[in-house]
Amino acid sequence: MFDYAWTSFNGSNKIFRQSVKLENNRIHECQKPIKLYRWILQNYAKPNDIIFDSHVGSASSLIACHEEGFKYIACELDEDYYKDSCNRLETHLSQLKLF
């Protein structure tokens, strides 16, 4: 499995590879890995950017924003996905970090 990451920025396109087995708590059929969003933020976002996700789905992007220290705004039209993504994000935010 891979996601093809394309931008309108100058430069080459990238392929992001990750085993599907690494994220087994899928709540959305198009769920992207948190690791992919973290890579995008690390490589393309600037400090103090506010990230907008217009189709939040499973909240992978929001978890990545939290992990990378970005503020975010998101919306989701589907009520079930909205509830599931809120639960997933809250579960992640409630976890204690040792390091």
User: What pLDDT, on the 0 to 100 scale, is given for residue 31?
Assistant: 87
69: pLDDT strictly greater than 90 = yes
Model confidence at 50: pLDDT above 90: yes
Q: What pTM does this model have? A: 0.78
Q: Where are the domains of the chain?
A: 31-99
| Higher per-residue pLDDT: 66 or 9 | 66
Q: What percent of the chain has pLDDT over 70?
A: 75
Is the pLDDT reported for residue 38 higher than 90?
yes
DSSP the chain: -EEEE--SSSS--EEEE--GGG-----STTPPPHHHHHHHHHHH--TT-EEEES--TTSHHHHHHHHHT-EEEE--S-HHHHHHHHHHHHHHHTS----
